[in-house]
Amino acid sequence: MIILLLHKRSILFFFGGILFIGISFGVYQLAAHPEMQNWVQKKLVITHIKTDKKVAALTFDDGPDPDTTPLVLDALKKHDAKATFFVMGKRAEEHPDILQRIAAEGHEIGNHSYSHAHYKKYNDKKFLLDEIRRTNRIIYSITAQHPQYFRPPGGYLSYDLIDISKEEGLTIAYWTSIQDSKDWVEGKSAERIAAYVIKHIRPGQIILLHDGCSNGHQTARAVDLILEELKQEGYSFVSFSELMNLEKSE
């Protein structure tokens, strides 16, 4: 199986029968790592939990952002929902007040690296370890929370990344593949983002959103729409840790 990650300009093509898409703001892994199923089975990588209860986890990447994150927090507060924010250490340093608000309002904070560097840099074990540890220190210094989960930038996975995360006491927090909302697409409306998430919702899913992208205002509006509809359908939204604890209790 092939792993191919594309960077920068938007590209769409087929290679070996597999469809790959390059996106403008970062790097995404679209072909699964050959060990993915094994890692998921061993709970080294979390993509969902098995439950019949109408519960799911909203997760937000690439923040904190001074324009978008407060709007997302407002929507979560309005609907009494909890979420997990996978923050970049660099942005957390720049906006400690927002990180403090995330923690104060009962949301979970995860590690999303310090700089969200190009994926090739994470093949350097020293660089990877520094990115993880530096961000953990920043999060703890601002919130007194020790992150339990690491979401690798772009979803990039490798044997070293799995091993180092495990050694650092972190579980890889992925997302449910069908719930990559692609809210980062420039100009994608809140209504489209919300409609996609609502259409594909199932119990135990982990939903991927971004509070640190240029389309973030649409994401914030989408959160309000998602919660409005799915709470009426009986869904509740919890942090990543709460979702994991639910699976353990069943």
| Residue keyed to tokens 């989408």 | 222
Please provide residue 7's backbone torsions phi and psi, each rounded to the nearest 5 degrees.
-130, 150
pLDDT at 202: 98
| Predicted local confidence at residue 34, as pLDDT | 85
The answer to whether the CB of 189 falls within 8 A of the CB of 218 is yes
Query: pTM value?
Result: 0.87
**pLDDT score for 4:** 35
Question: What pLDDT does residue 248 have?
Answer: 77
Tokens of 199: 């259409």
Which residues in the chain come in under a pLDDT of 50? 1-31
Q: Per the residue annotation, which of 112, 210, 211, 224 is the catalytic one?
A: 210
**Domain residue ranges of the chain, discontinuous segments joined by +:** 33-249
210 labelled catalytic:
yes
Tokens 């979702």 belong to residue: 243
* pLDDT of amino acid 135: 99
Q: Helices in the chain by DSSP H: which ranges?
A: 36-41, 69-78, 89-94, 96-104, 125-143, 159-167, 190-200, 216-232, 240-249
| Catalytic-role residue among 33, 61, 183, 211 | 61
pLDDT in tens, 20-40: 333 333 333 434 688 999 999
Residue closest to 10 by CA, chosen among 28, 29, 31, 24: 24
What whole-number distance in Å separates Cα of residue 81 and Cα of residue 231? 9
| Active-site annotation holds for 160 | no
pLDDT value at residue 21: 37
CATH class of 33-249: alpha beta
